[in-house]
């Protein structure tokens, strides 16, 4: 596989860019693999990449029923941050953040990671107390963060209405300078290309229809293209986790909800950071192309229809217009909904199961994109060693029986 | 946007007046002290998450403020029936599948065609 570089670009320019290699192969599935990963989204592809790259397991297949990165990886607002409250989640998301910081070089693929900072606004006194608590907790965990007052927020984002005359006045914010955004599709494609180069088979248009379990051990999967054997299977299927878990007779504490986002018409550069508000419920950033990317809350009911409800659209627009009156005449280009797998404590499940060799990585809910590299690395270690990585251990499914939940509703950014 | 028939107000109103509370017909363990951690965890946190028919509890938050049950398809969002607390559902997975499956399947296909 050829490396991407400026010299390659010049070389291919001479032949009118007609001879670029395919980014990855389309292999026929083998009869047996060491590890099968179900789900070719960002997390699944990252898992495959790190398995091959860091843990020496290259006989790996990623089985995807549609196309690579076609689910929530392509249906999010691309925000990357690690300012979570509790030690367990802060460690996991910060691990991810550190991988983000070298990801383009590591993958030899530009994921357009832009550390433009994230503001989490506070609109009430209690919001500000929570922000102070969270920023202090972050700093104790070695994660950058600052508490800004309304004047400092206004200096950073002059187009935002920080006058104090709005229904929910901006009183301040937490500010994580290292946070930012990344190009979501490039993350999936970069990991896919990297994994393919290391020998991982990416098998698209193949649906897993059942799990082959014998004497409490997994020995393979049934797919729409025949049976494939493996002693270790990792399931990374986000909103459909409950469906695959059902094949193994396992119940997960997950409910699937639609989460939607919008993209506006392209504008000249006007917003150079990411603004999130948990209280009025909207978040916004501007892409390099100029589109405003706007996120919303989840729909309150369970749903698998990949579309969001109109009241949620209206509610989100109200929040954005109140914060940014200047955007009141911006037109929206597109709107989409993804199915997010929410857990009772807004934290993911990275866990072994009662079936030996079957592992789940799910429950990322509304905030999985930022965790893509960290989740992949930690889950790859878990699959390679057959036991949970130290960072994954607190996220075991057992926490719902022992009661040691990790309540991240405050830092998750989207009310559930 | 969908409309929900409130069985207490006996009126069909916009979904904005309602709030979904979650899965219906959850039984609290008879004797919580005697329940094992597994039983208690199941009761607190583990919910059905079906792709298809789902019995759930809603509250008419901006209306009569009463709780009631809804049988809804989680793919097409079609509401099959609403009924009062304490009543049993007349639509079950078996009866819902009969005659409605084609319709649901069609919606499902349409949904899958939507690209981000």
Convert chain A into a string of H (helix), E (strand) and C (coil): CCCCCHHHHHHHHHCCCCCCCCCCCCCCCCCECCEEEECCCHHHHHHHHHHHHHCCCCCEEEECCCCCCCCHHHCCCCEECCCCCCHHHHHHHHHHHHHHHCHHHHHCCCCCCECCCEEEEECCHHHHHHHHHHHHHHHHCCCCCEEEEHHHHHHHCCCCCCCCCCCCCCCEEEEECCCEECCHHHHHHHHHHHHHHCCCEEECCCCEEEEEEECCEEEEEEECCEEEECCEEEECCHHHHHHHHHHCCCCCCCEEEEEEEEEECCCCCCCCCEEEECCCCEEEEECCCCCEEEEEEECCCCCCCCCCCHHHHHHHHHHHHHHCHHHCCCCEEEEEEEEEEECCCCCCEEEECCCECEEEEECCCCCCHHHHHHHHHHHHHHHHHCCCCCCCHHHCCCHHHHCCCCCCCCCCCCCC
A4 part of contact set with chain B, CB < 8 Å = no
Residue B96's pLDDT is 58
Residues of A whose CB is below 8 A from B15:
309, 311
Q: What count of other Cβ atoms lies within 10 Å of the Cβ of residue A31?
A: 9
Q: Which residues of chain A make contact with B72, given a CB cutoff of 8 A?
A: 301
B44, B47, B76 member nearest A305 (Cβ): B76
pLDDT over 90 (residue B113): no
Q: State how far residue B16 is from chain A, nearest Cα, in angstroms.
A: 7
Q: What is the distance in angstroms between the Cα of B35 and the nearest Cα belonging to chain A? A: 12
pTM, two decimal places: 0.91
Residue ranges in chain A modelled with pLDDT below 70: 412-416
Residue B102 has pLDDT above 70, yes or no: no
B60 at interface of A, judged by CB pairs closer than 8 A? no
Q: Identify the band that residue B95 occupies on the pLDDT scale cut at 50, 70 and 90.
A: low
Q: Which residues of A touch B22 (CB under 8 A)?
A: 255
Contact yes or no for B37 and A402 at CB 8 A: yes
pLDDT value at residue B107: 40
pLDDT in tens, B10-24: 999 999 999 999 999
What is the least distance, in Å, from the CA of A78 to any CA of chain B?
Answer: 13
Average pLDDT, chain B: 83
Considering only CB atoms, A243 lies closest to which of B51, B107, B116, namely B51
Report which DSSP code applies to B64.
T
Cα separation, A67 vs A376, whole angstroms: 19
pLDDT given for residue A239 in this prediction: 81
pLDDT value, residue B97: 52
Question: Cβ–Cβ contacts within 10 Å for residue A57, how many?
Answer: 21
Contact B76 A242 (CB under 8 A): no
| Residues B21-50: tens digit of each pLDDT | 999 999 999 999 999 999 999 999 999 999
SS3 B54: strand
Rounded mean pLDDT, B78-93: 89
Chain B contact set for A302 (CB, 8 A): 20, 49, 54, 56, 74
> Which pLDDT value is given to residue B115?
33
CA–CA dist A299, A339 (Å, integer): 10
Instruction: Report the DSSP pairing between strands A282-286 and A292-298.
Output: antiparallel
Which of A305, A400, A403 is nearest residue B77 as measured by Cβ atoms? A305
Residues of B in contact with A75 (CB under 8 A): 116
- C-alpha closest to that of A42 among A86, A107, A105: A107
Residue B67, pLDDT > 90, answer yes
Contact A344 B37 (CB under 8 A): no
Q: Using alpha carbons, select from A152, A153, A147, A141 the residue that is nearest to residue A127.
A: A147
Distance from CA of B100 to the nearest CA of A (A): 17
Give pLDDT tens digits for A333-354. Answer: 998 888 899 999 999 999 999 9
Instruction: Determine contact: B46 vs chain A, CB below 8 A.
Output: yes
Chain-chain contact of A400 with B46 (C-beta, under 8 angstroms): yes
Residue-wise pLDDT tens digits, B51-64:
899 999 999 999 99
CB contact under 8 A, A252 and B49: yes
Could you tell me if B41 lies within 8 Å of chain A, comparing CB atoms? yes
Q: Is B88 on the interface with A (CB under 8 A)?
A: no
Average pLDDT over residues B89-113: 52
Chains A–B, number of C-beta pairs less than 8 Å apart = 73
**Is any Cβ of chain A less than 8 angstroms from the Cβ of B78?**
no
Place of tokens 């017909």: B25
Give the pLDDT of residue A71.
Answer: 87
Residue of A242, A311, A402 lying closest to B16 (CB–CB):
A311
Decide if pLDDT at B116 tops 80. no
Residue B108 has pLDDT above 70, yes or no: no
Confidence at residue B89, expressed as pLDDT on a 0 to 100 scale: 85
CB contact residues (below 8 A), chain B span 89-108, against chain A: 107
Secondary structure element (H or E) that encloses residue B32, with its range: none
CB-CB under 8 Å, B46 with A253: yes
């Amino acid at each position: 596989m050829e490396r991407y570089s400026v010299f390659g670009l010049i070389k291919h320019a001479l032949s009118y860019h007609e001879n670029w290699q395919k980014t990855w192969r389309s292999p026929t599935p083998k009869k047996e693999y060491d590890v099968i990963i179900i789900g070719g989204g960002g997390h699944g592809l990252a898992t495959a990449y790190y398995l091959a790259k860091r843990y020496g397991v290259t006989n790996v297949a990623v089985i995807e029923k549609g196309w690579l990165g076609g689910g929530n990886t392509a249906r999010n607002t691309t925000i990357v941050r690690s300012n979570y409250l509790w030690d367990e989640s802060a460690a996991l998301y910060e691990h991810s953040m550190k991988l983000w910081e070298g990801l383009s070089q590591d993958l030899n693929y530009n994921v357009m990671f832009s550390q433009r900072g994230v503001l989490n606004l506070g609109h009430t006194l209690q919001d500000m107390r929570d922000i102070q608590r969270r920023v202090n907790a972050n700093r104790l965990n070695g994660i950058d963060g600052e508490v800004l007052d309304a004047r400092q927020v206004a200096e950073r984002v002059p187009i935002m209405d920080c006058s104090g005359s709005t229904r929910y006045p901006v009183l301040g914010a937490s500010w994580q300078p290292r946070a930012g955004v990344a190009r979501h599709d490039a993350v999936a494609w970069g990991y896919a290309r990297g994994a393919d180069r290391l020998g991982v088979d990416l098998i698209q248009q193949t649906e897993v229809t059942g799990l082959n379990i014998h004497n409490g051990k997994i020995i393979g999967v049934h797919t729409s293209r025949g049976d494939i054997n493996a002693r270790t299977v990792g399931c990374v299927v986000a909103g459909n986790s409950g469906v695959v878990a059902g094949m193994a007779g396992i119940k997960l504490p997950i409910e699937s909800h639609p989460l939607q986002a919008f993209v506006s018409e392209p504008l000249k550069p006007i917003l150079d950071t990411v603004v999130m508000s948990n209280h009025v419920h909207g978040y916004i950033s501007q892409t390099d192309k100029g589109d405003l990317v706007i996120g919303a809350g989840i729909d309150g009911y369970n749903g698998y229809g990949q579309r969001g409800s109109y009241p949620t659209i209206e509610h989100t627009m109200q929040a954005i217009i109140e914060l940014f009156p200047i955007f009141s005449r911006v037109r929206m280009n597109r709107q989409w909904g993804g199915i997010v797998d929410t857990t009772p404590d807004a934290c993911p499940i990275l866990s072994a199961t009662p079936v030996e060799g079957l592992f789940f990585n799910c429950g990322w809910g509304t905030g999985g994109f930022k965790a893509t590299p960290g989740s992949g690395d930690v889950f790859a270690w878990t699959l390679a060693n057959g036991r949970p990585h130290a960072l994954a251990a607190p996220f075991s499914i057992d926490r719902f029986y022992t009661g040691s939940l990790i309540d991240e509703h405050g830092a998750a950014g989207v009310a559930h | 946007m969908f409309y929900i028939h409130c069985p207490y107000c006996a009126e069909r109103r916009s979904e904005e007046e309602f709030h979904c509370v979650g899965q219906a017909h959850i039984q609290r363990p008879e004797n919580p002290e005697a329940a094992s951690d597994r039983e208690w965890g199941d009761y607190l946190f583990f919910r059905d998450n079906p792709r298809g028919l789902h019995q759930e509890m809603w509250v008419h938050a901006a209306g009569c403020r009463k709780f009631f049950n809804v049988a809804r398809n989680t793919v097409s969002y079609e509401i099959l029936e609403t009924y009062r607390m304490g009543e049993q559902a007349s639509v079950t997975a078996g009866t819902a599948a009969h005659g409605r499956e084609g319709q649901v399947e069609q919606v499902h296909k349409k949904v899958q065609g939507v690209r981000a």
